């Protein structure tokens, strides 16, 4: 490869990795379409991918059945001490982990090509952006990184002779002996998988998996785990949040950043088509937000990514039309089903299921097979620029000023459709106590309720208690310019298991209430204790409840919505007994943080306890 690399440190690192992993060849990625096309052609020829006859320039991959999602149990925050990683992270002493992984890396790329991927998280050259270099032996990873990040020689130019970058070493952990036949999705067994982070060195080592967040190291590993630790040190924020712009009929813009756990509705909300008259939504990002305080004292957010790595099942013209439009061409599909006419399919797709398909494991499938055709964590990789509602400012290096933070999760009971925090401290409490049912985005049990603070439990690169303190510190700096905080639950169910709220585009009704609350800001009263502040009368009304400010039925715009009055009442009902039952669990959740738990969260818990009496 005729690439002039002037960066000594980078050259030396690549050389070290070559000596350790012993690849058959090296390829420096330039990020061009020719490179992408060439690798895809190679993978189709090798039987790793199907070229979709009915979707231009799109490809389908089937992973190994053991390698279908993130592996939280094999993910490590290898800080110098376990105390720095905190109770929510797996930890191994850095020297020990490096020793174990060095053994695994030895000769691991034999018979394969080592790809050097220079990438930028955020627009190339923006002051908020960061450069990473991923070394990988997976051409699938290279093509995905082309879509998800900004890859290319331009990144090396910005790096110059001594610029900073985050080294990201990745191997699928499946060397090929001479003459050995390859498999469609090579990877290592679960006990050899390691997704490791060394936050003190800004270093990422990943081994054994080729899937999603385990392998596309710019995403969860760099943009959340390593970036969150950097953000704490440097006074900014790296959050698991979508970013959207909502414009009201008068033309006023609101920027909303929302944190929901994996597979809990970020991509869907980010591209929502409002069902209410005159409101417009534009997408800025669907998974990650990097935020810094601007010169005007407000909080500005950028999307560090360039593509969407979205959950396929459930995506349809009915639920998320803008995503469907984004997926028309130039996409990678992983673990979706293949139809007889050369297109993809998944559960929840529009129309009738196909009479016959090839399922995600490569087997024949019919609607009465009694098993899903697509894996529940099947994903699409799509260029963000293809989204019809992508915001014209989505690549503005300055970012967009955030007005509203939303937290939430997937809970069949207890938590109402929406409530507003009394003040910043109460909002941090809502984030810190967020709970959600687990999903197929991680390998493990699905449907178990767990605390997932700020949707960051799998992604915080340091002690979660210190992370809570960082939220208080940011709030103190932002003061009156801090975004207002809300909590939502689109997933409340009736006793017979039906969704009480229609969700998707109808969520615009809830966002409208939030914007109107913000507009009535002058009337909002914040009290230092958060204990029953006096009645808040903004443009849109709300009532005080023990858990926060709730809309009354008449405060929500339900025009034209076909919903049972009883269901609305249930969605807005506070069951004091059920909330009292949450208290011991919140206490237990807080106890694990020991001396790292901010005093201000204890105050919030006591306030909630008093309000529930």
Task: Cite the active site residues.
Answer: 264
Give the whole-angstrom CA distance, residue 114 versus residue 111. 10
Residue nearest to Mn ion (CB): 287
> Applying CB under 6 A, what is the total number of residues that bind ligand SPV?
9
Residue 375 tokens read as 């894996």
Q: Is 548 in the site for ligand SPV (CB under 6 A)?
A: no
Q: Which residue of 70, 225, 492, 596 would you call a contact of ligand SPV, by CB under 6 A?
A: 70
Q: Which stretch binds Mn ion (CB under 5 A): 119-127, 257-265, 466-474, 510-518?
A: 257-265
> What distance lies between CA 601 and its chain's CA centroid?
25
| DSSP per residue, 99-146 | HHHHHHHTTTTTTSEEEEEEEEESSTT-TT-EEEEEEES-HHHHHHHH
- Shortest distance (Å) from residue 130 CB to ligand SPV: 17
Q: Residue 267 binds which one of ligand GTP, Mn ion, ligand SPV, none, with CB within 5 to 8 A depending on kind?
A: ligand GTP
Q: Is 266 in the site for ligand GTP (CB under 6 A)?
A: yes
Q: Is 215 in the site for ligand SPV (CB under 6 A)?
A: no
| DSSP per residue, 159-179 | HTTT---EEEEEE-S----TT
The helix or strand, by DSSP H or E, that contains position 446, with its residue range, turns out to be none
Q: Is 319 in the site for ligand GTP (CB under 6 A)?
A: yes
Give the whole-angstrom CA distance, residue 491 versus residue 500. 8
Reference 338, options 45, 50, 46; nearest CA is 50
- Shortest distance (Å) from residue 223 CB to ligand GTP: 12
- Shortest distance (Å) from residue 217 CB to ligand SPV: 10
Q: Is 598 in the site for ligand SPV (CB under 6 A)?
A: no
Q: Which residue of 202, 206, 262, 315 would you call a contact of ligand SPV, by CB under 6 A?
A: 262
- Strands 418-420 and 543-545: what pairing? unpaired
Q: Which residue, 204 or 540, has its beta carbon nearer to Mn ion? A: 204
Give the whole-angstrom CA distance, residue 418 versus residue 577. 19
Q: Judge whether 270 and 301 are in contact, CB under 8 Å.
A: no
Q: Which residue of 146, 193, 220, 232 would you call a contact of ligand SPV, by CB under 6 A?
A: 220
Give the whole-angstrom CA distance, residue 126 versus residue 396. 9
In the chain, DSSP finds a helix count (H) and a strand count (E) of: 16, 31
Q: Which residue, 347 or 544, has its beta carbon nearer to ligand GTP? A: 347
Q: Residue 219 binds which one of ligand SPV, Mn ion, ligand GTP, none, with CB within 5 to 8 A depending on kind?
A: ligand SPV
Distances (CA, A) of 111 to 16, 132, 138, 179, 268: 18, 25, 12, 9, 41
Q: Is 224 in the site for ligand GTP (CB under 6 A)?
A: no
Q: Residue 220 binds which one of ligand SPV, Mn ion, ligand GTP, none, with CB within 5 to 8 A depending on kind?
A: ligand SPV
Q: Which residue of 287, 437, 466, 516 would you call a contact of Mn ion, by CB under 5 A?
A: 287
Q: Which residue of 262, 303, 335, 438 would you call a contact of ligand GTP, by CB under 6 A?
A: 262
Contacts of 363 (CB under 8 A, 6+ apart): none
Q: Which residue, 28 or 405, has its beta carbon nearer to Mn ion? A: 405
405-410-411-417 Cα dihedral, nearest 10 degrees: 40
Contacts of 250 (CB under 8 A, 6+ apart): none
Q: Is 310 in the site for ligand GTP (CB under 6 A)?
A: yes
The helix or strand, by DSSP H or E, that contains position 319, with its residue range, turns out to be none
Q: Which stretch binds ligand SPV (CB under 6 A): 82-90, 181-189, 213-221, 600-608?
A: 213-221
Q: Residue 213 binds which one of ligand SPV, Mn ion, ligand GTP, none, with CB within 5 to 8 A depending on kind?
A: ligand SPV
Diameter of the chain by CA atoms?
76
Give the whole-angstrom CA distance, residue 143 versus residue 603. 49
Q: Judge whether 276 and 249 are in contact, CB under 8 Å.
A: no
The radius of gyration of the chain from alpha carbons, rounded to an integer in Å, stands at 24
Q: Judge whether 105 and 188 are in contact, CB under 8 Å.
A: no
Name residues contacting ligand SPV, limited to 278-307 (CB under 6 A): 287
Residue identified by tokens 């401290």 is 425
Residue 562 tokens read as 């076909």
Name the DSSP letter for residue 182: P
Q: Which residue, 266 or 611, has its beta carbon nearer to ligand GTP? A: 266
Q: Judge whether 173 and 102 are in contact, CB under 8 Å.
A: no
Give the whole-angstrom CA distance, residue 179 versus residue 106. 20
Q: Which residue, 140 or 309, has its beta carbon nearer to ligand GTP? A: 309
Site string for ligand SPV, 416-445 (x = CB under 6 A): -------------------------x----
Q: Which residue of 133, 224, 441, 597 would you call a contact of ligand GTP, by CB under 6 A?
A: 441
Q: Judge whether 244 and 284 are in contact, CB under 8 Å.
A: yes
Q: What are phi and psi of 440, to 5 degrees?
A: -75, 0
Q: Which residue, 70 or 170, has its beta carbon nearer to ligand SPV? A: 70
Q: Which stretch binds ligand SPV (CB under 6 A): 2-10, 195-203, 211-219, 395-403?
A: 211-219
Site string for ligand GTP, 499-538 (x = CB under 6 A): x---xx--x-------------------------------
Residue identified by tokens 């204990």 is 531
Secondary structure of residue 596 in the 3-state scheme: helix
Q: Judge whether 312 and 378 are in contact, CB under 8 Å.
A: yes
Q: Which residue, 212 or 530, has its beta carbon nearer to ligand GTP? A: 212
Q: Judge whether 467 and 473 are in contact, CB under 8 Å.
A: no
Q: Which stretch binds ligand GTP (CB under 6 A): 94-102, 106-114, 260-268, 362-370?
A: 260-268
Q: Which residue, 149 or 262, has its beta carbon nearer to Mn ion? A: 262
Q: Is 219 in the site for ligand SPV (CB under 6 A)?
A: yes
Q: Residue 87 binds which one of ligand GTP, ligand SPV, Mn ion, none, with CB within 5 to 8 A depending on kind?
A: none
Q: Which residue, 430 or 608, has its beta carbon nearer to ligand GTP? A: 430
Q: Which residue of 24, 125, 314, 546 would you call a contact of ligand GTP, by CB under 6 A?
A: 314
- Shortest distance (Å) from residue 564 CB to ligand GTP: 16
Name the DSSP letter for residue 498: -
Q: Judge whether 417 and 492 are in contact, CB under 8 Å.
A: yes
Residue ranges binding Mn ion (CB under 5 A): 262, 287
Chain residues that interact with ligand SPV, rule: CB under 6 A: 70, 212-213, 219-220, 262, 287, 309, 441
What residues line the site for ligand GTP (CB under 6 A)?
260, 262-268, 286-287, 310-311, 313-314, 319, 441, 490-491, 499, 503-504, 507
């Amino acid at each position: 490869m005729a690439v002039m690399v002037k960066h000594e440190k980078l050259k030396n690192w690549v050389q070290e990795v070559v000596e350790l992993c012993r690849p058959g060849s090296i390829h420096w990625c330039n990020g061009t379409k020719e490179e992408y096309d060439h690798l895809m052609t190679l993978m189709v020829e090798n039987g790793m991918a199907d070229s979709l006859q009915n979707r231009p320039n799109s490809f389908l991959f089937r992973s190994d059945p053991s390698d279908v999602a993130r592996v939280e149990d094999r993910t490590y925050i290898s800080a110098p001490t376990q105390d720095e990683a905190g109770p929510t992270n797996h930890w191994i002493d850095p020297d020990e982990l490096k020793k174990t992984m060095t053994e695994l890396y030895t000769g691991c790329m034999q018979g394969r090509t080592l790809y050097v991927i220079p990438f930028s998280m955020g627009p190339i050259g923006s002051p908020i952006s960061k450069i990473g270099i991923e070394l990988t032996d997976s051409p699938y990873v290279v093509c995905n990184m082309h879509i998800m990040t900004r890859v290319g020689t331009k990144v090396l130019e910005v790096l110059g002779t001594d610029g900073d970058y985050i080294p990201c070493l990745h191997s699928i952990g499946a060397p090929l002996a001479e003459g050995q036949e390859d498999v469609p999705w090579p990877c290592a067994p679960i006990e050899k998988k390691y997704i490791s982070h060394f936050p003190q060195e800004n270093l990422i080592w990943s081994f054994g998996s080729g899937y999603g967040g385990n392998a596309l190291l710019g995403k969860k590993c760099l943009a959340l785990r390593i970036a969150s630790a950097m953000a704490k040190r440097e006074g900014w924020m790296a959050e698991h949040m979508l970013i959207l712009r909502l414009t009201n009929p008068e033309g006023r813009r609101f920027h909303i950043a929302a944190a929901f756990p994996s597979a809990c509705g970020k991509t869907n909300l980010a591209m929502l088509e409002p069902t209410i008259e005159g409101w417009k939504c534009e997408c800025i990002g669907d998974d990650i937000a990097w935020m810094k305080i601007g010169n005007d004292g407000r909080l500005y957010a950028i999307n560090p990514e360039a593509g969407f790595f979205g959950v396929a099942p459930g995506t349809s013209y009915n639920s998320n039309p803008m995503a469907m439009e984004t997926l028309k061409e130039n996409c990678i599909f992983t673990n979706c089903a293949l139809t007889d006419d050369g297109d993809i399919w998944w559960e929840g797709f529009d129309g009738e299921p196909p009479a016959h398909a090839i399922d995600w494991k490569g087997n024949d499938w019919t609607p009465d097979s009694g098993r899903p055709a697509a894996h529940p964590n099947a994903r699409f990789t799509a260029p963000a620029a293809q989204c019809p509602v992508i915001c014209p400012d989505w690549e503005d290096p300055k970012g967009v000023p955030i007005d509203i933070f939303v937290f939430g999760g997937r809970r069949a009971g207890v938590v109402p459709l929406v409530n507003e925090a009394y003040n910043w401290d109460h909002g941090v409490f809502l984030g810190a106590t967020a709970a959600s049912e687990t999903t197929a985005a991680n390998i493990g049990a699905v449907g178990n309720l767990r605390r997932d603070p700020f949707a960051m439990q799998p992604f915080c690169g340091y002690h979660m208690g210190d992370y809570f303190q960082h939220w208080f510190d940011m709030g103190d700096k932002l003061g009156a310019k801090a975004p207002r905080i809300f909590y939502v639950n689109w997933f409340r169910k009736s006793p017979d298991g039906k969704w009480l709220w229609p969700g998707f585009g109808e969520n615009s009704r809830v966002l409208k209430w939030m914007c109107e609350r913000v507009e009535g800001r002058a009337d909002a009263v914040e009290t230092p204790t958060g204990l029953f502040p006096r009645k808040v009368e903004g443009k849109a009304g709300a009532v005080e409840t023990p858990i926060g400010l709730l809309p009354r039925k008449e405060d929500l715009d339900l025009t034209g919505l076909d919903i049972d009055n009883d269901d609305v009442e249930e969605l807005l009902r506070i069951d004091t007994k059920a909330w009292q039952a949450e208290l011991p669990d919140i206490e237990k959740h807080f106890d694990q943080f020991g001396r790292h738990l901010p005093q201000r969260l204890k105050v919030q818990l006591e306030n909630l306890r008093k309000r529930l009496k």
